[in-house]
Structure 1
Amino acid sequence: MVLRPLLAAVLLFGPALVARADEPTWTRRIIAPDTALKAAQAALAECRKRGWQAAVTVSDPSGLALVTLRDRFAGWHTLEAATGKARTAASWREATSTLAARLARPDAAERAIVNVPGVVMVGGGMPIEAAGQQVGAIGVSGAPGGDNDDICAKAGIEAVAADIAF
């Protein structure tokens, strides 16, 4: 008689106790638009502080832009480049400067990705992570060189680090 309640409990609750790899849905954290704006403003402020006219895009983890800002005298090309850098960093889940350095090697197996439309392989694009999970990406364009774009992108990420910690 004790077995019947035990068997009923296993049949009723057993499936809920086992996590399956083939779950039909999953949960993901994504940077909120207000937080993306804060990151973009901080990156732009860092560039301005250094005398650089730039554009900044912050995207969701899939690379779709949430916020784009352009400084008054930043060239038209900086808008597309910033968006491309954010999209590239989001898609490959690494900094565009790291990706560009790897692909510059003549033996790089994935060199063909430089020909994918919209991919921008120069510094200034970085994933935005919290607790080991990518929640967005940032792209900066307009500073003199990708290394300097990286400085501004890092400032944007640092400005929201405490906000996105979980």
Structure 2
Amino acid sequence: MRVLMRQSAFALILSGLATPGALAAGSHLVSSQKLDWETATKLASEAVRICAAQGYSVTAAVVDPSGHQQAVVKGDTVPLQSLSVSYRKAYTAFSYGQAFDKNTTSELINAKLAGPENGALNTIPEVLFVPGGVTLRKADHRVIGGLGVSGAPGGDKDEACAKDAVAELQGEFQ
């Protein structure tokens, strides 16, 4: 039982949900940081605005440290599948970006972290190794969520809009 508790504590520290100091102090509470709803919505809106300025109608989704959607903004004429794809890109950027210390879904793909050739990791619910997801980080590099964009003609364009939106608003979540 004690080993299991140590492993759980280690997992909380790795995920950024707890600090070693909090666990050492014997605290039974775990705290995490995430964007407030206004900033999450502003971030998704900014990604949609940036893509719209380039002529692309997209959907942008922000996930929080639990992996759940926190904010979603849909452009006016996006394809139906962009809603689920933007979420899955955000989820993948958050969860795998945190696990492998990468900042975008493109970085994950380029590092060949998408799993075996047979695409087995892509069969995990909500995971999608396609460009367009950005890992959200604080200044101390702690992961606080993910942003995914879908709907532009190519994941590279989705990802550029997401990266530009994060660069624009990064100061608000430091």
Q: Give the shorter-chain TM-score range.
A: 0.7 to 0.9
* Displacement of 1:25: 2.7
1:68 aligns with 2:33: no
Gaps of 5+ in 2: 1-20
Q: Quick one: distance in 2 between partners of 1:18 and 1:143?
A: 43
Instruction: Give the equivalent residue in structure 1 for 2:14.
Output: none
Maintained 8 Å contact 2:94/2:134: yes
| Pair 1:155–1:102, CA change in 2 (3 A) | same
SS in 2 for 1:152: helix
- Report the CA distance shift for 1:108/1:22 in structure 2 as closer, same or farther (over 3 A): farther
Question: How far apart, CA to CA, are the structure 2 residues paired with 1:19 and 1:60?
Answer: 22
Q: 2:142 aligns with which of 133, 136, 147?
A: 133
Match in the other structure for 2:40:
36
Higher alpha-carbon Rg = 1
Tell me, in whole angstroms, the C-alpha distance in 2 between the residues paired with 1:136 and 1:21.
Answer: 27
SS of the residue aligned with 1:58?
strand
Q: What is the RMSD of the two structures over their aligned residues, measured on CA atoms?
A: 2.6
1:123 paired with 2:127, answer no
Distance 1:88 1:104, change over 3 A: closer
Report the TM-score, using the length of structure 1 for normalisation: 0.79
What is the deviation of 1:35? Answer: 0.2
- The verdict on how the C-alpha distance between 1:48 and 1:18 changes in structure 2, with shifts beyond 3 A counting, is closer
Q: State the shift of 1:38 in Å.
A: 0.7
Q: 1:114 maps to which residue? A: 122
Aligned length, in residue pairs: 148
Q: Paired residue for 2:105, among 90, 96, 100?
A: 96
Which position in structure 1 is the counterpart of 2:81? 77
Instruction: Say which SS state the counterpart of residue 81 (structure 2) adopts.
Output: helix
8 Å contact kept, 2:89–2:128: yes
Q: Which moved more, 1:78-87 or 1:154-163?
A: 154-163
Q: How does 1:140-155 map to 2 (within 5 A)?
A: 140-155=149-164
Aligned residue for 1:76, secondary structure, equals coil
The DSSP-based 3-state class of the residue aligned with 2:47 is: helix
Do the aligned partners of 1:102 and 1:108 also contact (CA within 8 Å) in 2? no
Runs of 4 or more off by more than 4 Å in structure 1?
107-111
Change (3 A) 1:26 1:126: same
> Cα distance 1:142–1:19, how it changes in 2: closer, same or farther (>3 A)?
closer
- CA shift, 1:22, in A, is 6.5
Contact 1:63/1:88 (CA < 8 Å) preserved in 2? Answer: no
